[in-house]
Amino acid sequence: MGDRFPRGKVSVAGLATYGVGEWPGYSNIELAANATRLALADAAIPLDQVDGVFICLPDDLFAGLSLAQYLGIHPRFTDNNRAGGASFMSHLVTAVMMLEAGYLDCAVIAYGSNQRSSGGKLSTPARPDRWDTPYAPMYPLSYYALVAARHMHQYGTTREHLAEVAVAARGWANTNPEAFAKGPLTIEDCLKARLISTPISVKDCCLVTDGAAAMVLTRTDRAKDGPQPLVPVLGAAAATWYNSVTQAEDITITAAAESGARALAMAGATPADIDVVQLYDAFTINTILFLEDLGFCAKGEGGAFVSGGRIGPGGALPVNTNGGGLSCCHPGMYGMFAMTEAIRQMRGQAANQIGGARLALAHGNGGTLSAQATVIFGNAETV
Amino acid sequence: MTGASALWDEALAQGRLLLQRASPQAKAIFPPREMAPLSGEPLECFEASGLGTIYSLTWIQRRPPEPASNVVIVELAEGARMMGRVEGADEATLRIGMPVRVRIADGADGPLVVFDLVEAA
């Protein structure tokens, strides 16, 4: 028992981004509220019909209450799940279940952050635990560095492999008008880049940008009559194995191995069926780990898998087709943006549209490879 | 009445690194807990041998002339892992898999577990 999911019963009715890149002069909730307004307009649903609010903000532990107040609505349910960058995939799990059960009729998932304009650094209230703090790891960077170092030791992964991920992301970003980081980037550029916490260099790290995104979810029977191409949710699963990655059984295997398998099973799909993949690439090692854990290649083979431009424009597997957190945007918790690009691909509205794509996977990551959550989106043909 | 963390702190202040286990055969646990993970069984404390190997390592780079500093995860001989720092180590030669030994040093906020390389005999 367990893991029953209403495949295709709930769909994305509306979607919007706001202030992606550099958007000075706005607070986090102002950005999130603007994205919500635009997502509802995209769905042609009035604000007073929203009865579920799902949000995680960098600085507001009561964000669900704050957004309801800001919008002037009285939702039946609010949720501020704070599983870091995977929060929004977890929000989606809850929202889908509540919509299908008839508890809610219209749910909004929103995020907004002004971290580039307000401080220029990752904005997060998360900290290392008391056992790690005395050793002064960079949070979260050094944790990802420790995983990357072990992955290299265990499987022979190299800095060139990491560079392939960054170069592929930049390739997609270069033809995406919304992407923040553009311009040529070579493997050589990445290898020469300044190291921060070995083996991670500045080119292995995601951007620090502003940005907001929101989506509107309704039951599919209603979304079918909406103005946008139908994007049903076919599967969604969150998995939790630990909080600090130092407590992992094997530091090179994340709970994505569980969330991915479960989400794919709900959708009735295998990795080979997925046409386009959106992964939370906080660091280049993430893309390699998640391609392995989600089943696109075997554990330890991720470095070889991404080589030769395989995940970049023109490659065999389109990954992070917006440019990802590495080159499109990273307003602190990127999960919402991985889903945004997956939904755009399913609608046929992406800047780098993959022709004929019918199934998209969006994967979120939070903390130090801690929270993992996977969502499978389809199109009208897949329900 | 004292929780597992405070007991661990007290032992460290006396110069002992404590680990826990549910039975003499079970894998050691760190950080300290009130009960065994999954089984919920009571845990016994015991003193670590102090030996371990480097499971992973990173060097945080500083603006020269300040030298880089390391952060490691050590797998203790008893099976538990903990974060730490290898003192007196060289970035050019420190490697995953090298044997290390616990030393309890004076940290900025009290006693602190650090590691020294075990020189090959």
In the stretch 257-316 of chain A, residues with CB closer than 8 A to chain B read: none
Alpha-carbon distance of B4 to B10, in angstroms, equals 10
Was domain A137-204+231-382 assigned CATH 3.40.47.10? yes
- SS3 label, residue A52: strand
Q: Show the DSSP H helices in A44-158 as ranges.
A: 63-71, 87-101, 115-118, 141-155
Q: Which residues of A91-107 are buried (b: 16+ CB within 10 A; e: fewer)?
A: bbbbbbbbbbeeebbbb
Tell me which of B83, B104, B106, B113 to substitute to probe the interface with A (most A C-beta atoms closer than 10 Å). Answer: B83
The helix (H) or strand (E) run that includes residue A278 is: strand A276-279
pLDDT at A100: 98
Q: Are A270 and A249 in contact (CB under 8 A)?
A: no
DSSP letters, A339-356, are: HHHHHHHHHT--TT--TT
Provide the pLDDT for residue B120: 64
A314 contact partners, CB below 8 Å, separation of at least 6: none
Q: Could you report the predicted ipTM of this complex, rounded to two decimals?
A: 0.97
Chain Cα centroid distance, residue A79: 18
A350 contacts A321 by C-beta, under 8 angstroms: yes
Closest-CA distance of chain A to residue B44, Å: 20
Domain boundaries, chain B: 4-117
- The residues, any chain, with a CB within 8 Å of residue A58's CB and separated by 6 or more, are A28, A113, A115, A123, A124, A125, A332, A333
* Alpha carbon distance A281, A326 (integer Å): 6
Which residues contact residue A118 at a Cβ distance below 8 angstroms, ignoring those fewer than 6 apart? none
Chain B residue at shortest CA distance from A147: B56
Residue A1 is predicted with a pLDDT of 65
Q: What is the pLDDT of residue A93?
A: 98
A245 DSSP 8-state letter: G
Burial A53-80 (b: 16+ CB within 10 A, else e): bbbbbbbbeebbebbbeebeeebebbbb
Supply B72's token pair: 């490691």
Cβ–Cβ below 8 Å for B112 and A134: yes
Chain B residue at shortest CA distance from A139: B60
Please judge whether B71 and A142 are an interchain contact, meaning their C-beta atoms are less than 8 angstroms apart: yes
A156 touches chain B (CB under 8 A): no
Chain B residue with the nearest C-alpha to that of A151 = B56
Distance from the B93 Cα atom to the nearest Cα atom in chain A, whole angstroms: 14
Interface contact flag, B73 A146, Cβ < 8 Å: yes
Contact A198 B61 (CB under 8 A): yes
Among candidate residues A29, A3, A6, A32, the one with its CA nearest the CA of residue A17? A32
The tens place of each residue's pLDDT in chain A, 383 residues long, gives 689 999 999 999 999 999 999 999 999 999 999 999 999 999 999 999 999 999 999 989 999 999 999 999 999 999 999 998 999 999 999 999 999 999 999 999 999 999 999 988 877 878 899 999 999 999 999 999 999 999 999 999 999 999 999 999 999 999 999 999 999 999 999 999 999 999 999 999 999 999 999 999 999 999 999 999 999 999 999 999 999 999 999 999 999 999 999 999 999 999 999 999 999 999 999 999 999 999 999 999 999 999 999 999 999 999 999 999 999 999 999 999 999 999 999 999 999 999 999 999 999 999 999 999 999 999 999 99
Residue A233 CA to residue A376 CA, distance in Å, equals 6
CATH 2.40.50.840 fits B4-117, yes or no: yes
Which chain B residues contact residue A195 at CB under 8 A?
A: 59, 61
When computed from its CA atoms, the radius of gyration of chain A, rounded to whole angstroms, is: 19
Whether B73 contacts chain A with CB within 8 A:
yes
| Confidence (pLDDT) at A122 | 79
Architecture of domain A10-120+210-223: 3-Layer(aba) Sandwich (3.40)
pLDDT digits (tens, 9 = 90+) for B73-105: 999 999 999 999 999 999 999 999 999 999 999
Q: Widest CA span of chain B, in angstroms?
A: 51
Residues 6 or more apart in contact with residue B75 via CB below 8 angstroms: B52, B53, B54, B55, B81
Collect all residues of chain A within an 8 Å Cβ-Cβ radius of residue B85.
135
* B79 within 8 A of B28, measured Cβ to Cβ: yes
On whether any CB of chain A is under 8 Å from the CB of B83, the answer is yes
Closest CA to B102 of B53, B60, B59: B53
Q: What's the pLDDT score for residue A145?
A: 98
Residues of chain A with CATH 3.40.47.10: 10-120+210-223, 137-204+231-382
Per-residue pLDDT at B39 exceeds 90: yes
Q: How far is A131 from chain B (nearest CA, A)?
A: 7
pLDDT, position A277: 98
Contact B60 A196 (CB under 8 A): yes
- Asked if B69 lies within 8 A of A136 by C-beta distance, the reply is yes
**In A, residues 215-254, which contact B (CB 8 Å cutoff)?**
246-247, 251
- CA of A40 vs chain B CAs: smallest distance (Å): 44
CA distance A334 to A281: 8
A291: which residues sit within 8 A by CB, 6+ positions away? A277, A279, A297, A302, A305, A306, A311, A319
β pairing state of A359-366 and B51-60: unpaired
| Side chain identity at residue A290, one-letter code | F
How close A41 gets to chain B, by Cα (Å)? 47
What angle is formed at CA B74 by the lines to CA B70 and CA B77, rounded to 5 degrees? 155
CA distances to A160, A235, A273 from A265, in Å: 34, 8, 12
Query: What one-character-per-residue DSSP string does B40-95 give?
Result: ----EEEE---EEEEEEEEEE--STTSPPEEEEEEEETTS-EEEE-BTT--TTT--
pLDDT confidence of residue B121: 53
How far is residue A318's CA from residue A304's CA, in Å, rounded to a whole number?
A: 16
Backbone dihedral angles phi then psi of residue A310, each to the nearest 5 degrees: -60, -30
The shares of helix, strand and coil residues in chain B, as percent rounded to the nearest 5, are 10, 40, 50
SS3 A238: strand
Min Cα–Cα distance to chain A from B121, Å: 25
Verify whether the Cβ–Cβ distance B58 to A142 is below 8 Å: yes
Quick one: angle between helices A284-293 and A141-155, nearest 10? 60
Cis peptide before B65 (omega within 30 of 0): yes
Which residues of chain A have a CB within 8 Å of the CB of B6?
none
